[in-house]
Chain A
Amino acid sequence: MTRESSLVSPQWVEDNLDNPDVVLIEVDEDTAAYDKGHIRNAIKLDWTTDLQDQVRRDFVNKAQFEALLSDRGVSNDHRVVLYGGNNNWFAAYAYWYFKLYGHQDVVLMDGGRKKWELDSRELTDEVPTREKTTYTAQDQDTSIRAFRDDAVAAIGVQNLIDVRSPDEYAGRLMAPAHLPQEQAQRAGHVPTSLNVPWSKNCNDDGTFKSDEDLKALYAEVGIDDSKDTIALCRIGERSSLTWFVLKELLGHQNVKNYDGSWTEYGSLVGVPIALGDEPGDA
């Protein structure tokens, strides 16, 4: 994948608002953001209810994903364009989902909702209606999903990229600073993981930095191109954005997102944890 095949600009979206081959989908951390105004003809996915299993701690399975997209009028042939707030944080999470279940043509709108708003482009409160479809998902592509045992096995062996803020990485905070402090039983990070806060991938206006700047960012922290990579954060959403950058924009092979992330790892009994600003030893 490349920037050209995985990103579209806000202008491209504006030019394709009525394109029947395109489905525009807003996915926001603030699940009420869509209801306050959204891009015309965009539909909404709620990451807390639509994308998460409501009983187990896991995301929706293949059958649930098929039912969701069929109900919302998304077909296998549609070009899915995702956007959201906070540098496309949750839109990137949804992008990873679509890839996980084998959707072929999915892209992010560069800059997301913030860029659209900062450009003073139009928002509407009209909710579009779409005809239901019969969506067929593929089995999960676990080549892009890491589990807890993968994270433990990667210590000192693979690139582990912890994308949380420096204070979360060091163990001074347990969660992003706009959320109440809760979740994992212990603070800190997986030993040998490198801290590259997810926000470093983006400019202030929410657009992705240039490929050259992104390559320099990861070279500077010492990512080893010859090794496989696992990205993690607190609950797997911010790390989806870093997964997107490494895999889709920079074309790294064998990059996985660990969606269990720190809330799972930091609650495991007996696993090693490093505290402070340094990666720590294996």
Chain B
Amino acid sequence: MCGATEGGLSLDGVDVKKEAIIQGQVFRGEDPVGNAYVRLLDRTGEFTAEVPTSATGHFRFFAGEGEWTLRTLAPKADPVDNRVVAAVGSVAEVNVRI
């Protein structure tokens, strides 16, 4: 994927100080999953956003302060939930295993 860097997505052009970023990568075993869907659920479990993973399995959300759940759906896999805490000015990196 264009701009992808080892250890995470490129943050070029993103003002990290103003954003509460949640990002990461989806894996099946050791392989990145490029056809997964990652949903962001808020503290009440309500759907907030969803993104498809990139060819390298990466995803990113610009969230708000607080607790969130990532729900990952992929072909031939059960949905997987990961809890994450986001804070303005930081990047929460999450590796999802399906």
> Which parts of B34-49 form the interface with A (CB within 8 Å)?
35, 37, 39-40, 42, 44, 46-49
> How many positions in chain B have a CB within 8 Å of any CB in the partner chain?
28
User: Which listed residue (B14, B35, B48, B75) contacts A177, Cβ 8 A?
Assistant: B48
Find the A residue at minimum CB distance from B71. A204
Given A114-B37, A177-B62: A120 in contact with B50 (beta carbons within 8 A): no
Q: With the chains together, A253 CA to B71 CA distance in Å? A: 36
B75 to chain A, nearest CB (A): 5
User: Which listed residue (A119, A120, A176, A204) contacts B48, Cβ 8 A?
Assistant: A176
> Which parts of A155-174 form the interface with B (CB within 8 Å)?
165-167, 172-173
Whether the pair A167, B42 counts as a contact (CB closer than 8 A) is yes
User: Which listed residue (B14, B61, B64) contacts A172, Cβ 8 A?
Assistant: B64
> Which parts of B55-87 form the interface with A (CB within 8 Å)?
55, 60-64, 71, 73-76, 79
Confirm or deny: B8 has a beta carbon within 8 angstroms of a beta carbon on chain A. no
A-side interface size class: 20 to 34
Q: With the chains together, A36 CA to B61 CA distance in Å? A: 21
**A interface secondary structure, majority:** loop
Find the B residue at minimum CB distance from A165. B48
User: Which listed residue (B18, B42, B75) contacts A165, Cβ 8 A?
Assistant: B42
Find the B residue at minimum CB distance from A178. B49
Whether the pair A118, B75 counts as a contact (CB closer than 8 A) is yes
Find the B residue at minimum CB distance from A181. B62
Confirm or deny: A139 has a beta carbon within 8 angstroms of a beta carbon on chain B. no
Confirm or deny: A31 has a beta carbon within 8 angstroms of a beta carbon on chain B. no
- 13 A-B residue pairs with CB within 8 Å: A30-B52, A85-B52, A87-B50, A118-B73, A120-B76, A167-B64, A176-B48, A178-B50, A178-B62, A181-B62, A197-B47, A199-B46, A204-B73
The residues of A with any CB-CB pair to B shorter than 8 Å are 30, 33, 36, 85-87, 114, 117-120, 165-167, 172-173, 175-181, 197, 199-200, 204-205
Given pairs A166-B44, A176-B49, A178-B51, 4 additional interface contacts (CB within 8 A):
A117-B37, A178-B49, A204-B71, A205-B73
